[in-house]
Amino acid sequence: MERERAAAYWEANAETWTQLARAGYDVYRDNVNTPGFLEMLPAVEGLRGLDIGCGEGSNTRALARLGAHMTAIDVAPTFVMHARETERTEQSGIVYDVADAQALPFPNDSFDFATAFMSLMDVPDYRTALAEAHRIVRPGGFFQFSIMHPCFVSPHRRVLRDDAGTAYAIEIARYFDNIDGEVEYWKFTAAPEAVRAAVEPFGTPLFHYTISDWLNAVVAAGFTIERIGEPSVDEATARRVPIVADSRIAPLFLHIRGRV
């Protein structure tokens, strides 16, 4: 899929996505991915960082609260608009701009670190995006990113549940199918039915590659892989937010940190 077409899907999603995520319905982000990502993150206080694919800025603001001096980019202007509006009221010192992960508008070695929360798997050319992240991070810096776990979120994935509705297994198929822009339509399952009925589904282009594809691409871009994470939730969180309990069976997310 061409990058312009992929970007158009995310621009179409951005308004509703911002509203629903800020209403608390992106429960996998809030309870699984972001907490695990920040727990794995090295100290960033006083460092200059770039957040690639920032969306409406929630995770960028979390990095700023850790003391990082943040710049953030996203391909969807509406996401950047909402992020800038929040910056005007909260003033975290974050600079937001519209830009493409495959052509970052920054000189070489511009940042001490870079992050990408759940954005690289939505980029048509992930190898170029990895190379761009390596280019803009100074020697000795790091790039940490999260994606859907290639092994456990394949083109076919189904959660198997018992009669009580408790998840007990994950059904996986088509793992070796490389998917280039197959569009999936879906809604946040945590949103109440009335909210779900009132909004159009998100259309998200899928780009699926194997875990060996990803790890080899990270190394080919020039990074030394430093740490890998597969976040889950504890029993208390699974009871409090039952929808994310399937992350205790198999990970939905893969976190990778590479050092330049």
Other Cβ atoms within 10 Å of 175 Cβ, number: 16
Percent of the chain residues topping a pLDDT of 70: 100
Q: Among 106, 131, 130, 114, which residue's Cα sits nearest to residue 47?
A: 114
Whether residue 1 is predicted with pLDDT greater than 90 in this model: the reply is no
- 260, two tokens: 């330049």
pLDDT for 165: 86
pLDDT for 259: 98
Total structural domains within the chain? 1
- Determine the distance from the C-alpha atom of residue 169 to the mean position of all C-alpha atoms in its chain, rounded to a whole number: 24
pLDDT for 146: 98
Question: What pTM, to 2 d.p., does this model score?
Answer: 0.95
- The dihedral through the CA atoms of 73, 138, 231, 160 has a sign that is positive
Distance in angstroms between the alpha carbons of the first and the last residue of the chain: 29
pLDDT tens-place string over residues 98-157: 999 999 999 999 999 999 999 999 999 999 999 999 999 999 999 999 999 999 999 999
Other Cβ atoms within 10 Å of 93 Cβ, number: 11
pLDDT for 101: 98
pLDDT tens-place string over residues 145-184: 999 999 999 999 999 999 988 889 999 999 999 899 999 9
- The dihedral through the CA atoms of 194, 196, 197, 200 has a sign that is positive
Confidence band, pLDDT 50/70/90 cuts, at residue 14: very high
Report the DSSP pairing between strands 48-52 and 111-117. Answer: parallel
- 213, two tokens: 């594809």
pLDDT tens-place string over residues 204-240: 999 999 999 999 999 999 999 999 999 999 999 999 9
**Residue span of the structural domain in which 18 resides:** 3-259
Share the mean pLDDT of the chain.
96
The CATH number of the domain holding residue 68 is 3.40.50.150
- Determine the distance from the C-alpha atom of residue 19 to the mean position of all C-alpha atoms in its chain, rounded to a whole number: 17
What is the Cα Rg of the chain in Å?
18
Q: Among 77, 73, 79, 76, which residue's Cα sits nearest to residue 136?
A: 73
pLDDT for 64: 98
Q: How far is CA 136 from CA 39, 100, 163, 183, in A?
A: 24, 13, 51, 30
Percent of the chain residues topping a pLDDT of 90: 97
Whether residue 20 is predicted with pLDDT greater than 90 in this model: the reply is yes
pLDDT for 256: 98
DSSP 206: E
pLDDT for 104: 98
- 133, two tokens: 């992240």
